Structures are given as structure tokens and as C-alpha cells.
A and B are shown apart, each in its own frame.
Chain A
Amino acid sequence: SQQGEEDPQALSIQEGENATMNCSYKTSINNLQWYRQNSGRGLVHLILIRSNEREKHSGRLRVTLDTSKKSSSLLITASRAADTASYFCATDEETSGSRLTFGEGTQLTVNP
């Protein structure tokens, strides 16, 4: 079953704009991770935020985590056409500890 719900399901923006994707989850977690998938290809790990962290940056990516609301957001700044992909959040849960539970993903389209 899917742990997370991602919002929006699809997002279309212009190059140079910022893109924000949200993820909600249901259980206690060890960490939350974001992955990117280009059409039908492999998943690429973008960033991991631990349950005791509130914000993390990596290049043009900014991730926030609110464990009280069981939610996370991924911000991509100054988007590029090459950022077009599906983005998934995945939780590493305290109870399982050895697997990722993925959300349904957000399809981001960046128009040149």
C-alpha cells in the first residue's frame, strides 16, 4: 500500500520558475527521501532528511519536514527543462526499518 500522498499529481511550469511538491505520510518514520524518475527509467536518489531535521538543502533542492503534520515538501528553484520528470517521496518507517514506502509521485513538466 502507498504510505504517502503527493500533491499535486501533476505540475506544469515555465523554465526559471520554482516548483513545489508536497508529500504526506501516515506513520512514524526514520527518514524521508525524495527520488526522481525520468520516464520509465530508474529512480535517482535526490535527498534524504532525517526525522530530527526540519530542513535540508542540496543545490537547487530544498526539502522540509514537519513530523507533527506528517508532511514534507520538495522545492526546486530556478527550474530547467531537464528537471522534467516524476518525483516521489519515500518514507523509511520506524516499524519496518528496512524498506521504502513510496508515494504516488508528482509529474513535473518544465516548459522551455
Chain B
Amino acid sequence: DSGVTQTPKHLITATGQRVTLRCSPRSGDLSVYWYQQSLDQGLQFLIQYYNGEERAKGNILERFSAQQFPDLHSELNLSSLELGDSALYFCASRTGLKGGYTFGSGTRLTVV
């Protein structure tokens, strides 16, 4: 157990639907990062939050959004889902803004 908790572990949904992925960072970590891992794009950075505020944005589609709540957990919302959104979605947290990242075990999203 890395200390970063992601739920659910698996999600199967239909095209056009909306899903919410949840992440709880390691205790004491203020930063949350979201990554997408797909076969064709590899590991892509989506978005970062630090203590409730958006800090950096990567290759995140407009159909996707995220937020970090006062208790520091984060949610990634994916809407109008397409087949190509099928991927592993990872959340990571970090102590401060330097050093290694701790990744959760991921949510495997399958869009059918």
C-alpha cells in the first residue's frame, strides 16, 4: 500500500457517459497529480492541484475536469466518454514540491 488511495479500481461504462474517479493523497501531502496511461499515448500528465488550487495543466481534454477538496482528496471527472478514453488513470501525491512521487494503484477505465 503506497498510501495513495484510488477508487474505484475498475470501471466499465458506455460511450457518452460521465464518471468520477477519486483519489486520496498520502497523509500530509498537499499536491495531487493526475496521469493517464494508454497504449498509444503512454503516460501523460493531466493536471496538478496543490492545497486545493490548480497549479499546472497538461494534456487534459476539455471534457475532463478535476478538483481538490478541503480535506485534500481529489476527483477527476470524465464526461462524454469516448472509446479512446479507455485507459489507466493514476493519481500521485508528493511531499512538498521536490522529491519523488507516490502513485496510487490506478483506476482502469473501460469505455464500451
Contacts and interface: CB of A to CB of B under 8 A. Distances in A.
B58 A42 contact: no
Interface residues of B, number: 27
B104 interface: yes
A101 B90 contact: no
Interface in B27-59: 31, 33, 35, 42-43, 45, 48, 50, 55-56, 58-59
Contact of B56 (A43, A96, A103, A104): A96
A104 B42 contact: yes
A43 B58 CA distance: 19
Interface residues of A, number: 25
Interface of A: 1-2, 30-31, 33, 35, 40-45, 48, 88, 90, 96-105
Interface of B: 2, 31, 33, 35, 42-43, 45, 48, 50, 55-56, 58-59, 88, 90, 92, 97-106, 108
